[in-house]
Amino acid sequence: MAHYCDVETQKGGGCRRRVNAATCYDHVNGPVPPKSGGSNGTPVRSRNPVWTEAAPIENASITLPDAVTVVQRLPTHWRGKIAEQSVRRVGREQWGDFLQERTAGLCRPLARTARELLAIKARVDRLPGEAAAAAAHHLGAPPVVQTMAERFASGLGATTTIEQNLAATAHAVRVLGIFVCVITDAVPTCQCLKDLVADHLPRDDFETSLWHLTKPPAPT
């Protein structure tokens, strides 16, 4: 469950960044020591003072090196959380079959599957029309009938739920790929992790997403 980092900052008080790990990335090694200048250790004052510790940028996208570090520092019970969610979705027998196949090479087909799901999501609004036109063509209908069927089906809309389900499935597949790379010590080369980072998630959102096979719906 997400909680405040709460490591003491240079400005006093605990760090208010929300994390799933023990601390945020900036405070993995404890409080950041204050910088000092001069021989007597007195801080140097400038005409344009700046913070010695930059305030974290809440909406900054996580980088791949930082993401690798975050994943490598995940607590051991993270694996149990992912296993528990997977069993609820696919059943214990199927999850057991998946674990038996776990190899570092399993990540790439998982990554390709997630990409294909997102590619389908990008064109899902055209699928009803394409299906209607194909059905009319299969029955030998003239082109004008095929076009009419395609236009009417395309105008129906109501594909939002399908798009959300495809996106959620793609995310789940990527997290499973990261899971495989964690248990096979292949995190630095994990393609699923690279693809998740390419979504330009803020650090906090990235850390939270690792704990959920199904992403919560975006606020409207």
pLDDT of residue 49: 41
For the chain, what is the largest distance between any 2 Cα atoms, rounded to a whole number of angstroms?
A: 91
pTM above 0.75, yes or no: no
pLDDT over threshold 70, residue 33: no
Percent of the chain exceeding pLDDT 90 equals 46
100-104, 143-147, 158-162, 202-206: the lowest-pLDDT one: 158-162
Residue given tokens 């214990």 in the structure block: 92
Reported as type and span, the H/E element at residue 18 is strand 18-19
- The predicted-structure confidence for 76-90, as pLDDT tens digits, reads as follows 999 999 999 999 999
Distance between CA atoms of residues 66 and 72, nearest Å: 10
Q: Which among 85, 79, 75 has a CA at the least distance from the CA of 21?
A: 75
Other Cβ atoms within 10 Å of 88 Cβ, number: 11
pLDDT of residue 7: 66
Q: What SS3 class is residue 202?
A: strand
- The predicted-structure confidence for 115-133, as pLDDT tens digits, reads as follows 999 998 888 878 788 888 8
Distance between CA atoms of residues 74 and 8, nearest Å: 22
Q: Confidence class of residue 48 from pLDDT cuts 50, 70 and 90?
A: very low
Q: Which among 217, 185, 219, 212 has a CA at the least distance from the CA of 196?
A: 212
Distance between CA atoms of residues 19 and 13, nearest Å: 17
Reported as type and span, the H/E element at residue 176 is helix 160-183
- The predicted-structure confidence for 138-183, as pLDDT tens digits, reads as follows 999 988 888 888 888 876 665 678 888 889 999 999 999 999 999 9
Cβ burial of 86 (10 Å; 0-12, 13-18, 19+) is buried
* Of the ranges 2-16, 59-73, 145-159, the best mean pLDDT one: 59-73
Other Cβ atoms within 10 Å of 12 Cβ, number: 6
pLDDT over threshold 60, residue 104: yes
8 Å CB contact between 218 and 174:
no
Beta bridge partners of 202: 61
What DSSP line would sit under 76-120, residue for residue? THHHHHHHHHHHHHH-HHHHHHHHHT--GGGHHHHHHHHHHHHHH
pLDDT of residue 148: 86
Distance between CA atoms of residues 96 and 89, nearest Å: 13
Q: What SS3 class is residue 14?
A: strand
